Structure 1
């Protein structure tokens, strides 16, 4: 006998996301799991690495959640069509970015090349200053994110899995913790610009 897991209806997911609180977190997790098959499809269709497709998929889910909450998703198409289109566009953006980076790599003068022209003692001092400056800036920006994001990013940076982070920070599942972590990292990326 075969058992099928009932997939949540799009209208239920959308209503849950808009409800907020614990209901929103559960709906985020269900939305993430419902369309996770797109990662494998992106690997097959776009010939990208699985990590790249997983990142594009997570970005897609975060974008869709934002669009639902901001009422930008108006329901003129099925939610699956909307998610697929955004995911597909993000994969194409990745391909374009990788292609343009490959062509630019030969035109750039790297900092490492410039450092090689310095004497050994000056080189190590400059490298230490750059590293310390980057670390200080990163600490300041992480502190701007708030306590929950800071704890999550620091735990992730120390090698804790999403499952461990979910238990430590009282998230329902590792998927919810991952979605929240990616949202925090996206905010950090925006601050870093």
Structure 2
């Protein structure tokens, strides 16, 4: 028996996710697995790594599930088309983010130039003060994220793998934990960017 014969139709997946209950997770998994081939397509089309495409796909599936439950998905397109568009947008966002990061790496900062002019002893003191300020600022930003993000980022910072984080923090799977962690990191980056 082939896989497609066992996979429910989109209408069943939509209904199963919207209805909720104990079988909802099963329908969510069917949705993920049914269109997982989009990950390979994303790698080819957007020239992203398998990990980046998997993360974008997981994030897209979570978004679609959220839209199904909230009623934002109105059924004007097929579920596959809807998921593909969200996935493509997330891939484009990753390409833009990666391009911006690469451009920033090659720009020397004026602070680094100024530090290099200081004598070794003074440079060490200034670097220690800067490190402490960075730690204090990080604590403040983490406090603004909320408990769930703070817990997942703490576990990740302590070296826990996504599988372990998923079990500890009751996520559905390692992929969901990874996507949630990346969302939290994005929120943290945004807080740094906006200066809040």
**TM-score, scaled to structure 2:** 0.72
Q: Residue 181 of structure 1 corresponds to which residue in structure 2?
A: 181
Higher relative contact order (CA 8 A, sep 6+): 1
Cα displacement (A) at 1:81 = 1.0
Q: Residue 89 of structure 2 corresponds to which residue in structure 1?
A: 89
Q: Residue 4 of structure 1 corresponds to which residue in structure 2?
A: 3
Contact 1:26 / 1:176 at 8 angstroms: preserved in 2? no
Alignment of 1:1-193 (within 5 A): 2=1, 4=3, 6-18=6-18, 28-99=28-99, 108-110=107-109, 111-193=111-193
Contact 1:53 / 1:91 at 8 angstroms: preserved in 2? yes
Deviates more, 1:166-175 or 1:9-18: 9-18
Contact 1:67 / 1:73 at 8 angstroms: preserved in 2? yes
Cα displacement (A) at 1:18 = 4.4
Q: Distance in 2 between matches of 1:93 and 1:78?
A: 23
User: Would the alpha carbon gap of residues 147 and 19 (structure 1) be closer, same or farther in structure 2, given more than 3 Å must change?
Assistant: farther
Q: Cα RMSD over matched residues?
A: 3.3
User: Would the alpha carbon gap of residues 169 and 112 (structure 1) be closer, same or farther in structure 2, given more than 3 Å must change?
Assistant: same
User: Would the alpha carbon gap of residues 170 and 47 (structure 1) be closer, same or farther in structure 2, given more than 3 Å must change?
Assistant: closer
Contact 1:58 / 1:182 at 8 angstroms: preserved in 2? no
User: Would the alpha carbon gap of residues 50 and 112 (structure 1) be closer, same or farther in structure 2, given more than 3 Å must change?
Assistant: farther
Q: What 5-or-longer segments of structure 1 have no aligned partner?
A: none
Q: What 5-or-longer segments of structure 2 have no aligned partner?
A: none
Count of aligned residue pairs for this structure pair: 191
**TM-score, scaled to structure 1:** 0.73
Q: Distance in 2 between matches of 1:72 and 1:135?
A: 40
